[in-house]
Amino acid sequence: MKRVLITGAAGFLGSHLCDRFIAEGFCVVGMDNLITGNMENIEHLMPNPNFEFYHHDVSKYVHVPGKLDYILHFASPASPIDYLKIPIQTLKVGSLGTHNLLGLARAKNARMLIASTSEVYGDPLVHPQTEEYYGNVNPVGPRGVYDEAKRFQEAMTMAYHTFHGLETRIVRIFNTYGPRMRLNDGRVLPAFIGQALRGEDLTVFGDGSQTRSFCYVDDQVEGIFKLLMSDYPYPVNIGNPDEITIAQFAEEIIKLTGTDQKVIYKDLPKDDPMQRKPDITKAREILGWEPNVSREEGLKITYDYFKSLPEDKLYRKEHKDFTKYINR
């Protein structure tokens, strides 16, 4: 059996990747320091003899006994609420963590895929965003800790590919959603649904003209899997090009949830991107991939998941207490 290491395994996307690789017949080694991940996301896998879990911080030295065929590096805070509270840890997992895992991949002769992001494009001056666009990023702004960690991660990965001949893959992930997202993670989709379920007004930052493109998690996982198994070492956008303004999206959520809340407007956070739409030409041509799940269909599944959560999760304001990590 092929064996894969997935970092960030207890996170939203990492846990879905664990499910996919188990279903594909792999032995899966999950790794997570649980700073933002949640064991509830993978507890259903714990009895499976083909799944093992390491509670470990990849920013420190990483050792996994036995062979590894693939490494997927998905460990990182991914929501603005998290990476603004733990900026140093965000930078370290993208830099030191990536370096450690690339060294492990080289030692194991494993192929490594890194989770990059549409945030490498910053507040883009090119629309839609192609992989050749270098981005418009503020390295010293509040979002710089995440954006630049991911940009460095790409550069380090490509250096190992070109200098050491390591087999590497780079996926640039656009807004992904689905079951296991946190309601309080600061991203617009769970924020809107959480507000609707709690009977609160929906909060739009700015005038609502900024755009996002939402990709359902099953489509995202399929694209990542196809990229890993391809022969293409350069960045590939995986996302849904069906673009919508935030103001329009708020109305969609109100219609979906059958609520009658108002939409209120607040100031736009610094460096918040005004446009997000992936050009997925490369994914179509190289991987034969494009999203299949419509936003209407994916939102219904996601809303049903959020509706099923117990009240304590619905009303929980804070995800975790990061105090013990702050001075590390």
Q: Could you list the active site residues? A: 146
d(CA 258, CA 307): 13
CB atoms under 10 Å from CB of 133, counted, come to 16
Strand pairing partners for 72?
6, 113
Measured between alpha carbons, how far is 127 from 228 in angstroms, rounded to an integer?
Answer: 26
Residue located via tokens 């965000």 = 90
Neighbours of 321 (CB within 10 A): 8
Give dist(CA 183, CA 193) in Å, integer: 8
Nearest to 277 by CA among 146, 191, 192, 175: 175
Q: Which residues in the chain belong to E strands, given as ranges?
A: 3-7, 27-32, 51-55, 70-73, 111-117, 168-173, 176-177, 202-205, 211-213, 215-216, 235-238, 243-245, 263-266
Give the Cα separation of 175 and 216 in Å (integer).
9
Please list the helix, strand and coil fractions of the chain in percent, rounded to the nearest 5, in that order: 40, 20, 40
Token code pair at residue 138 = 């503020």
